[in-house]
Structure 1
Amino acid sequence: MSQKTGLTEDKVALLVGASVFILAFCNVFGLDLLGWVVKPNIWTSLDKVLSPATAAYKALPGIASLCITYVALTGVLTLGVKLLGADTKEFFKAFTIVFFVTFICYAAGHYAQIAATPDTLKKFNIPWSLGLTGEAGFIIALLAGIFVGNFMPGTADKLKAACRPEMFVKIAIVIMGSELGVKAADAMGLASSIIFRGLCAIVEAYLIYWAVVYYVSRKYFKFSREWAAPLASGISICGVSAAIATGGAIRARPVVPIMVSSLVVVFTCVEMVILPFVAQWWLTGEPMVAGGWMGLAVKSDGGAIASGAIADALIRAKALSDYGIKYQEGWIVMVTTTVKIFIDVFIGIWSFILAYIWCTKFERCPGQRMRFSEVWNRFPRFVLGYILTFLILLVLCANSAEGMKLGKNMVGALNALRVIFFSLTFFTIGVVSNFKKLWEEGIGRLAAVYVVCLFGFIIWVGLFISWLFFSGVKPPLAS
C-alpha cells in the first residue's frame, strides 16, 4: 500500500479499469474514443498483423495504432504506479521493454497455423493448423516470461519494476465485465430454456467442483487454506480471474494466485487441443451437451469459448457427413458462452462469500464480534468494478436493438485492451516465476492436484451435468 495515498494495487486497478470504461461509454454519445487501440489479427503475412480495434479508425495504420496504444498505456500505468508510491522512472524503462516483448509474443500466437480453427482453414488458404485460436499468444507470452525469469536473471531484475501481474489482471477483469454484459444481453434474446439450463448447470457443477477440489487439496495434498482456496476457485470457476479474486478475498500472498494462474493457462491449452475432438466423436448426437461440456470443463473464458467454436464446427461437419443433418451454426458455442457467462458472474458472489467465511470462521479471535466492515475491507474492489461494468452494459444492451449495437461497438476496443492486459499478466507471471523458488513453494504438488482433480473428476462431472441439463436439446436445422 502507498503510504502517501493509501491506495493499493486493487484500488488502482479499479480506478484504471473504470476510467477506461468511461472512455468507452462515450460511444453512447457518438464518440469513439478508444477505437485506436491496437489488436492483432490471425495472419499469414506480416502486413496483416496489426489493425485498430474498431472500424471508425480503419484508416489508421496498424503500426501507428500500436505506438498510440503504447503511449496511452504507459502514461496511465505510470500514473497508477506513482499513486502507489513506486519509482515511476524505473517503471517507465522496464514497462517499455515488457510491453513490446509481450505484444510480439501475443501477435506471434495469432499466426494462422497456430491460431486458425478448423472451420477457417480455407479462409487463410492453409492445409492445417493447431487450432489454438489467438489465445495461444498467452502461452507464448508465459513461456517467454519463464525463459527470462529462469535463464536471464539479470534482465528479470531490470524488468521487476514493471512486473505487476496482479494489477494487470485486475484491470483486465474490470474491463471484462462490460464484455460479458453484452454477451448476457445477447443471450437473453435467444432460447430462454438454454439460459435457464445453463444457470442450473453451473450452480450444481460449481458447488460440487469447489468443495471437492478444496477437500482433496487439504486432505490428501496437505495444502494450507491459503493455497487450497485459490486453487479450488482456479480449477472450478474460470481460472485466472477466479484465482486472483479468491486470493484477494482471503488475503493470500501474491505468489499463491500467480502460481495457480500459470497452471491454468497451461492446462487450458491442453484441454483446447483434446476436448473438442473428443466431443466430435462421442457427442455428435448430443451437440448441445458438447457445448455445455466445453463451458464447464475448460477453465478460461477465451479457451472455453474457442473450444465451443471448434466443437461447433467439428460436430456440424460430422453430423452432415454421417447423418445428412445440417444444424444451424452457432448454437453449440452459444451454450458454451451462456454457461461461461454464469460461471464468470459467480466470481463476485463467491469472493464475497469467501471473504465472509474467512472473517467469521478462520480469522476471528474468540469472543470477537464480526463486523460487516471487515468483510467489506477485504472484498476485492476490482470485483466491484467487474460487477458494475457488467450490469451497466447488460441494462444498456437489453433495452433496445440500438443499445445492443452501441454495446458491441464499446466492447470492440475494450476487448482489445483486455487481451493486452491479460498478455502483460502472463508475461510478467513468467518473469517472476523462478522455478527453483516455486518448487520450494510447492508448484509440483499444485500441478498434481490440478491433474488429479481435472482429469479425475471435473471433466467427467462436467460431462454428466451437461448431459443432465442439455440431453435431448437440439440446435435448429439450417434451411
Structure 2
Amino acid sequence: MSSKTFQLSEDWTVVVLGIGMIALALLGFVVPVPSFGWSNSQELSSKVFSGDNIAAMGLQFVLVYVTAIIGALLLKKDLKALLIVFPVVYLLTVLALILAGNSGVKSFNLEAVIFSLAIGLIISNFFKIPNWFKQALSTELYVKIGLVLLGTTVIFGDILKAGALGLVQALVVVVSVWYFAFWICKKLKIDKEMSLMLSSAVSICGVSAAIATSGAIEGDNKKLSYVISLVLITAVPMMIFMPYLAEIMNLSQEVTGAWLGGSIDTTGAVAASGTLVGEEALKISTIVKFSQNVLLGIAAFFISIYWTYSKSVDDKTKKDKPTLKVIWERFPKFVVGFVFVSLMFSFVISPETNAGIKNSLKSLQGLWFALAFTSIGLETNFKDLFKQDNKKPLYAFLIAQTFNIIVTLVLAMALFG
C-alpha cells in the first residue's frame, strides 16, 4: 500500500508543480529566457556571459531550484542532499546548453539533451560518484515536470489554421508508421517497453515523443537514452540528403516540404532541411511536423491507457478484466496534467496571453528535460548505454524509418502534388 501511495503522490506532485509554474507565468511572474546562442569567443563573452543573460539564468535557476525543493518536501526525500546536488546538476546542464548553442553545433542539429547525457556519462565513468549524490537525482520528477509544461505547446487550434492537408497527412503517417513499427518490434521479439518508445519516436516527433512515451509507461531510462540516440543519429543524414533526393526526383517544393515534415523526426532538422529547399518547402514542412507534434498528446494519453491496462492484467487478474479502479490506480496521473494543460492553452488561454508567456515556459520545459538527461548520464555507465549486444532495436528502427520515408513520400505526392 505504501508503494502505491508513493507512486500516486509522485505523479500528483508533478501535476501540482507543473501547473504551479504555469500559474506563476499567468499571474505575471514570467521568467526571462536566457540566450545560449554563440558562434565565436567574442559572442560567447558578450551575449551568453553578459550581465543581463547571467541574471536571466539566475532567475530561471531560482524557479527550478525552489520547485525541486518543494517536490522533495512533498515526496519526503532527503532535502539536505538535494540542496547540494541540484545546483551541481544545473551547472552541468548549463554547460550542455552552451555547447549546444554554438552555431556550428546547431548546423548538425545536435540537441542540448545529447550534451547533457554525454557530460553526465563522462563524469560518472571517469569519477566515482557517491551513493548519496546518485540517490538525490530525481530524473523521473524532472522528465514529468517537463512533460506537463510540454502541454503548453500542444495547441489544437493552430492545426486547424495550418490547413487540413497537413493534418490529414500527419494522422495517416502517425497511425500507419506507429503500428508498422510496433508490428516489426513484435516480430523481432523486442520487449514491449522498448517497442512503445521506439514506435512513438519514429512515427510522431522523435525526442519529445520518446520522452513522453517513457513517462507514460514509466520506462527504463537506459532504453530511452538508446532510442533518443538513434533518433539524433539518423536525423542528421536525413536532414542533409533528403533535400537532394527531392531535387533529383524533381519534386515540387510543396511535396518536398510535406515529405520532409512527415519523415524527419526532430523539429529542428525539419526546419533546417526545409530551408535548404526554399520558403514554400519550409512552410509546408513546418505545418506537417507541427501537426504531428500536436498528436503527441493524444498518443501519450492512449499509450498510457494501453500500458496501464497491460500492467493490470497480471497473474492475479488475467482471468478477469481489471476494474476501472485498478486501471485508475495504475494510470500515470501526470498525463492528466499534460492533457489538462494542453486543453487549457488550446481553448481557454487567449492567444495574446499565450504569446507573452510561451517562450518562457518552453525554455523551462527544455531545461527540465536537459536536467533529466544530465541526471541519467550521472547514474549510467557507458557500457549500459552504448553496448547493445542485441541489435534488434536498431534493425527495427531502421526498417520502420525506411517505411516512414516511403509512406510519407506517397502521401505527400497524393495530397500536395
Tell me the TM-score range normalised by the shorter chain: 0.7 to 0.9
Alignment-derived partner of residue 190 in structure 2: 223
Q: Identify if the C-alpha distance between structure 1 residues 371 and 416 changes in structure 2 by more than 3 Å, giving closer, same or farther.
A: same
Work out which of the residue numbers 202, 223, 226 in structure 1 matches 2:170: 202
| Preserved contact between residue 216 and residue 335 of structure 2 (Cα < 8 Å) | no
Secondary structure in structure 1 of the residue aligned to 2:363: helix
2:238 maps to 1:264: no
Work out which of the residue numbers 227, 243, 262 in structure 2 matches 1:296: 262
Alignment-derived partner of residue 313 in structure 1: 275
Q: CA deviation at 1:458?
A: 2.3
2:409 maps to 1:463: yes
RMSD value over aligned CA atoms?
Answer: 3.2
| Preserved contact between residue 296 and residue 339 of structure 1 (Cα < 8 Å) | no
Alignment-derived partner of residue 238 in structure 1: 205
Alignment-derived partner of residue 104 in structure 1: 95
Alignment-derived partner of residue 132 in structure 1: 108
In structure 2, distance between residues paired with 1:65 and 1:93: 21
Q: CA deviation at 1:83?
A: 2.1
Q: CA deviation at 1:103?
A: 0.9
Secondary structure in structure 1 of the residue aligned to 2:154: helix
2:367 maps to 1:420: yes
In structure 1, distance between residues paired with 2:244 and 2:348: 38
Alignment-derived partner of residue 15 in structure 1: 16
| Preserved contact between residue 38 and residue 103 of structure 2 (Cα < 8 Å) | yes
Q: CA deviation at 1:297?
A: 2.2
Query: Gaps spanning 5+ residues in structure 2: where?
Result: none
Q: Relative to structure 2, which stretch is displaced further, 261-270 or 103-112?
A: 261-270
| Preserved contact between residue 258 and residue 288 of structure 2 (Cα < 8 Å) | yes
Percent identity among equivalent residues? 23
Work out which of the residue numbers 52, 58, 61 in structure 1 matches 2:52: 61
Residue correspondence of structure 1 range 7-406 to structure 2 within 5 A: 7-26=8-27, 31=28, 33-44=29-40, 45-50=43-48, 61-115=52-106, 131-132=107-108, 136-152=111-127, 154-155=128-129, 157=131, 159-181=133-155, 184-190=156-162, 194=163, 196-220=164-188, 222-250=189-217, 252-279=219-246, 281-282=247-248, 285-299=251-265, 303-304=266-267, 306-316=268-278, 331-355=283-307, 357-358=309-310, 365-396=317-348, 403-406=350-353
The aligned amino acid for 1:416 is S
Query: Gaps spanning 5+ residues in structure 1: where?
Result: 53-59, 116-130, 317-326, 398-402, 472-479
Higher relative CO (Cα under 8 Å, sequence separation at least 6) belongs to 2
The aligned amino acid for 2:16 is L
Q: Identify if the C-alpha distance between structure 1 residues 244 and 315 changes in structure 2 by more than 3 Å, giving closer, same or farther.
A: closer
In structure 2, distance between residues paired with 1:269 and 1:96: 32
| Preserved contact between residue 2 and residue 84 of structure 1 (Cα < 8 Å) | no
* TM-score for both structures, normalised by structure 1: 0.76
Q: Identify if the C-alpha distance between structure 1 residues 389 and 263 changes in structure 2 by more than 3 Å, giving closer, same or farther.
A: same
| Preserved contact between residue 154 and residue 294 of structure 2 (Cα < 8 Å) | no
The aligned amino acid for 2:118 is L
The aligned amino acid for 1:108 is L
* TM-score for both structures, normalised by structure 2: 0.86
In structure 2, distance between residues paired with 1:219 and 1:408: 46
The aligned amino acid for 1:312 is G
| Preserved contact between residue 257 and residue 285 of structure 2 (Cα < 8 Å) | yes
In structure 2, distance between residues paired with 1:466 and 1:21: 37
Deviations 1:159-182 (A, max 9, x none): 42353333222211211211222x
| Preserved contact between residue 156 and residue 431 of structure 1 (Cα < 8 Å) | no
